[in-house]
Amino acid sequence: MPAPFTLRFLNSLSRTGWIAMALFAVIALGVLPALHLFVPEGSPLHVSGFVITLGGKLMCYAIVAVAMDLIWGYAGILSLGHGIFFALGGYAFGMYLMREIGTDGSYHSHLPDFMVFLDWKELPWYWAGTDSILWAAVLVLVVPALLAYVFGYFAFRSRIKGVYFSIITQALTLATMLLFFRNETGFGGNNGFTDFRRILGYDITSPEMRVILFGLSALVLMLTLLLGRYLVTSKLGRVLAAIRDSESRVMFMGYNPLHYKLFIWTLSAMLCAVAGALYVPQVGIINPSEMSPANSIEIAIWVAVGGRGTLIGPVIGAALVNLSKSYFTVAFPDYWLFFLGALFVMVTLWMPEGVVGLWKRIRTRRAA
Amino acid sequence: MKSILLTLVFWFCAMPAWAALDPAVVKQLGAEESDDKIAAIQQLGASANREAVKVLKALANDELYVAGDTIFLMDGDTAVDAVTGAALQPAPESYESITINNRIRAELTNAIASLRLLNPDREVRLAAARELQTNVGLEMVPILDRALARETDPEISSLLKLAQAQANLGSEDAAARLAAVHALADSASPNTRNLLLPLTRPDVEANEKIRQAAAAALKAIETQLAFGEFVGQIFSGLSLGSILLLAALGLAITYGVMGVINMAHGELLMVGAYATYFMQGLFRAYLPAYVDWYVVAAIPAAFLAAALVGMALERTVIRRLYGRPLETLLATWGLSLILIQAARVLFGAQNVELSNPGWMSGGVEVMAGLTLPWNRIVIIGFTLFVLALVWVLMQKTRLGLFVRAVTQNRAMAGCVGVPTARIDTLAFGLGAGIAGLGGVALSQIANVGPDMGQGYIVDSFMVVVLGGVGQLAGAVWAALGLGVVTKFLEGWAGAVIAKIVVLVIIIVIIQKRPQGLFALKGRFVEN
């Protein structure tokens, strides 16, 4: 008889896991926001808005990395097009943010500035209802999920996998990027969406809003990790790992890999979309370059650096790679690509299990 | 200073040839009334006198002056009498330029063009005849008749006939108009179509017979134009296809035959293009006389450069990842980033400037309204050459035999003494070298910069995947097919939509035929 859900859920994380999770919750939801809001700016304990925004950004990346790990690390599907789902989520929420600008744009029109610029008289049909944050939230979840489901259904049904799948997802993201670059598509062309003013009437740049977005990102990251952990320790996770290791054998045992792969693929896309929706108000811009193939492939390296199939590894990987990106692009802008390229090569050659694998190896050596 | 000297030299050479103009007519150019001026201009235009061009040109540029009874123009610093061509000593003290209005200006243009039609220099006549294709009136008919009677060059002759027909369309004489319509029917160009279009309307052309003739002529022209457009699209499709093929052929060897996912393939194209740039620099510095041939010298250079880079990549990184395709993909992506940044550091982040050699610029006019550019023709030819090279290498050489043996059965090939590891390196070098050759071709038609390779990687993979892995012939068909389909779609829907539709088509095709369109027949075991 299967154990009750609560028990299974609690068992999905180890004791140290739960402690770490609680510690993270206290810091991200309590300490950092308090230090930002209530400690005066001159004080050495004050956490600046820059740190809060950077932290929020990193957590959004981490959500994407965990979503990637779910399909790559556990189901063996390497997507080189995850940027699409991230950007679609961002665009869906960005539509709401654009509507929320109201008549404060440079043309003081009810339409977003870029539409006035194109001499459009009314909103295209797919913008209908985007002035409601609830509808925007529905779009954030449904549009990427639908795209992922349809694409995944056709791809997995004809058993496209491995490198073929990767290349096709890359083509998909390239095509979508080209589509969004067009002005006629109705999403601001090259420039995308920017100049956001407020959410639900509150100023988007205020410290309180910053902290709320930061807290939301932290919450979603924690939930993603818990959900991921629960899934991979469940029967579904076992089947997925089996599909990763030998799809034919799983089929011979009577499972249909299509449904399993499709479920985890669509879920992963939705997680990415949520991350994108949280990311856009924090950085204040979304444009088609988020869908460039290079961006999507970078997600894979976050996961690889952290350690595939570990869930926590990708979080570490995303933070490490992006922090070093922030550092390098300021300190040695000419060397960032050398570093990133070398990282790709070295991790695949010498650190197949990433940072987490390295840590485990060190611990077992010490224990022995 | 130099330019003034040159003008003087020209002027002295021209001096003895200055045939005197009719003084009365020249003087009339300075008349008060526009009608008088126009009459004089038309007389000069009809005079078939070469010097008249000079005078009329000066007039068109407001550089013809009148001082008392003398009409003169300035040649450099010297005042020249418009009638005799002799230098005026001393130059007149007080003078004013002859003013002209727009009506006179239009007359001048025609008169100058008609004079140039009688110029002994073929190029000048050709240019003048071309100018007359878009702007000709009934008053030009006598001049055109005279020019036609003297013209011996068939190309100019046919142009003149067209101009004459156009001029005759405005004629009062119905027979002349009918003849003009028939003459125009023989030339299919958008211009003649526009000329004939009004003639089918009863309110413009009263004569029923001419309307019918015009309608028939229009129909013939439309068909011919549509055919020309069709051929043009096929050609540009083939041209795009050959570029895709050059970009993908190397990949067809490394991915298709060896199974290595090389995301740095686009950067090998870039290496080839930069090698071409380097060759251009060498030729400019040391062999300026042969600079037009730098492209030819770049072919082996680009092959070697890309092959060396490719072999280095294979030896250092790719070799360790055989059998792990996803890891290979990531590692080679990293390599591509390193190569891009290296190009930026070495050559700068901006695109570099490469000039087409003279023999590759211009084009051949196959039919009216369809000109095929030489550089595209050369690239199609070059693609055929590279294809032949690959075929010979793979089918007729020992290396090709070994490569095919290793692909078919690595263990067995090793058993019979094929050095498999070395063959891997050489085969990868061959694929990379072919990519370098693609880079040479790309450098002639696209921007050369550090990021140039990134745009081709997805396309190249699409070609190989569509054609069927392990199949060079499949890649050829896939590339040409994709090229033609893309160009036709672009004609209907624009470049971006065309690209998206093509990607969707590829995804759908792979649904139906996961092994590619031209997959080898047989049973496959999944690993």
Partners of residue B342 in chain A, C-beta under 8 Å: 338
What CA–CA distance (Å, rounded) separates B192 from B186?
10
Judge whether residue B6 has pLDDT over 60. no
Residues contacting residue B521 through CB under 8 Å, at least 6 positions apart: none
Q: Can you give the pLDDT at residue B86? A: 74
Residue type, B45: G
According to the model, what pLDDT value does residue B18 have?
Answer: 53
Residues of B in contact with A248 (CB under 8 A): 526
Residue A2 has pLDDT above 70, yes or no: no
**Cα separations in angstroms, B317 against A340, B321, B327:** 16, 7, 11
pLDDT category at B336 given cuts 50, 70, 90 is: very high
Note the pLDDT of residue B72.
Answer: 79
Of A160, A163, A343, nearest to B329 by CB-CB distance is: A163
Whether residue B510 and residue A171 make contact (CB cut-off 8 A), yes or no, is no
Q: What are the CA-CA distances from residue A53 to residues A87, A175, A204, A301, B160 (Å)?
A: 18, 31, 12, 23, 73
Across the range B365-386, mean pLDDT stands at: 82
Please report which helix (H) or strand (E) contains residue B70, including its range: strand B70-75
Within 10 Å of residue A250's Cβ, how many Cβ atoms? 19
Kindly tell me the burial class for residue B182, based on how many C-beta atoms sit within 10 Å of its own C-beta (0-12, 13-18, 19 or more). Answer: middle
**Digit-coded pLDDT (tens) for B434-455:** 999 999 988 888 888 888 888 7
For residue B382, which phi and psi values (nearest 5 degrees)? -60, -40
A167-189, pLDDT tens digit by residue?
Answer: 888 888 888 898 898 888 888 88
Residue of B nearest to A248 (CA): B526
Q: Which of A167, A247, A345 sits opposite B335 (nearest CB)?
A: A345
CB contact under 8 A, B317 and A345: yes
Task: Give the model's pLDDT for residue B505.
Answer: 83
Q: What is the mean pLDDT of residues B226-252?
A: 85
* Whether B321 and A297 lie within 8 Å, measured CB to CB: no
Q: Do B331 and A345 touch (CB under 8 A)?
A: yes
Alpha carbon of B474: minimum distance to chain A alpha carbons (Å): 17
Chain B CB contacts of A304 under 8 Å are 330
Q: Give ipTM to 2 decimals.
A: 0.84
Contact criterion met (CB < 8 Å) for A297 and B330: yes
Smallest Cβ distance to B338: which of A166, A248, A337? Answer: A337
**What does each C-alpha distance from A108 to A112, A203, A285, B466 come to in angstroms?**
9, 18, 20, 50
CA angle centred on B467, ends B466 and B470, rounded to 5°: 120
pLDDT digits (tens, 9 = 90+) for A232-242: 988 999 999 99
User: Cβ B321–A294 below 8 Å, yes or no?
Assistant: no
Q: Minimal CA–CA distance to B389: which of B434, B456, B334, B336?
A: B434
Cα end-to-end span (Å), chain B? 79
At B4 the pLDDT is 54
Among residues of chain B, what percentage have pLDDT more than 70? 87
Query: What average pLDDT does range B87-99 have in this prediction?
Result: 74
The average confidence (pLDDT) of chain B is: 79
> CB neighbours of B322 closer than 8 A, spacing ≥ 6?
B260, B328, B424
A169-to-A33, A58, A162, A265, B46 alpha-carbon distances in Å: 38, 24, 11, 12, 71
Whether the CB of B514 is below 8 Å from some CB of chain A: the reply is yes
Averaged pLDDT, B71-81: 76
Return the pLDDT at A1.
Answer: 53
Which pLDDT value is given to residue B300? 94
Which residues does chain A have within 8 Å of residue B333's beta carbon, measured at their own beta carbons?
A: 297, 344
In angstroms, what separates the C-alpha of A160 from chain B's closest C-alpha?
7
Residue B241 corresponds to which tokens in the numbers above?
A: 């296809």
Q: Which positions in chain A touch B345 (Cβ < 8 Å)?
A: 334
CA distance B256 to chain A (A): 12
Residue B66 three-state SS: strand
Collapsed DSSP state (helix, strand, coil) of residue B127: helix
Beta-carbon separation of B514 and A248 below 8 A: no
> How confident is the model at residue A281, as a pLDDT?
92
- Residue B11: predicted pLDDT: 47
Average pLDDT in the A286-312 region? 90
**A194-to-A189, A204, A282 alpha-carbon distances in Å:** 12, 12, 11
For B320, nearest residue in chain A (alpha carbons): A349
pTM of the model: 0.75
Q: Which residues from B are below 8 Å from A152, CB to CB?
A: none
Residue A199 sits at φ, ψ, to 5 deg, of -120, 130
Kindly state whether B434 is in contact with chain A, defined as any CB-CB distance less than 8 angstroms. Answer: no
The H or E element spanning position A198 is strand A198-199
- All structural domains of chain B with their residue ranges: 2-106, 117-206, 246-455
pLDDT at B248 over 50: yes
pLDDT of the residue at B48: 59
What is the band of B523 on the pLDDT scale with cuts at 50, 70, 90? Answer: low
Which residues of chain B does A351 touch, with a Cβ-Cβ cutoff of 8 Å? none
CA-nearest of A279, A290, A300 to A343 is: A300
Predicted pLDDT at B134? 66
Q: What H or E segment, with its residue span, contains residue B219? A: helix B208-251
Q: Which pLDDT tens digit goes with each residue over A80-96?
A: 989 999 999 999 999 99
- For residue A354, the distance in angstroms to the closest alpha carbon of chain B comes to 13
Q: Could you tell me which chain B residue has the CA closest to the CA of A180?
A: B496
Q: Are B180 and B212 in contact (CB under 8 A)?
A: no
Minimal C-alpha gap between A269 and chain B (Å): 19
Indicate if the pLDDT at residue B525 is higher than 70. no
CA dist B324 and B389 (Å) reads 31
Residue A141 has pLDDT above 90, yes or no: yes
Q: Do B334 and A341 touch (CB under 8 A)?
A: yes
Cβ <8 Å between A344 and B334: yes
User: Which residue among A154, A334, A341 places its CB closest to the CB of B345?
Assistant: A334
- Look at B514 and A158 and tell me if their CB atoms are within 8 Å: yes
Q: Is the pLDDT reported for residue B219 higher than 90?
A: no
Q: What is the pLDDT of residue B526?
A: 47
Which DSSP helix (H) or strand (E) runs through A199? strand A198-199
Q: Give residue B470's pLDDT.
A: 65
pLDDT tens sequence across A308-353: 888 899 999 999 999 988 888 888 888 888 988 898 888 888 888 8
- Are the Cβ atoms of A172 and B514 closer than 8 angstroms? no
pLDDT over 90 percentage in chain B: 11
Most confident of A105-109, A180-184, A283-287: A283-287
Residues in A whose CB is inside 8 Å of some CB of B read: 78, 154-155, 157-160, 162-164, 166-168, 170-172, 174-175, 178-179, 181-182, 247-248, 293-294, 297, 300-301, 304, 334-335, 337-338, 340-345, 347-349, 352
Does position B9 have pLDDT exceeding 50, yes or no? Answer: no
DSSP result, B370-383: EEEEHHHHHHHHHH
Q: What is the dihedral of CA A112, A113, A117, A118, to 10 degrees?
A: -20
Closest chain B residue by Cα to residue A166: B326
- Which among A160, A304, A340 has CB closest to B337? A340
Crossing angle of helices A336-350 and A293-306, in 10° steps, is: 50
pLDDT tens, residue by residue, A18-76:
888 889 988 888 888 888 888 887 788 888 888 889 999 999 999 999 999 999 999 98
Q: What are phi and psi of B417, to 5 degrees?
A: 100, 10
- Which pLDDT band holds residue B3 (cuts at 50, 70, 90)? low
Looking at residue B12, its pLDDT comes to 44
- pLDDT confidence tier of residue A8, bands split at 50, 70 and 90: confident
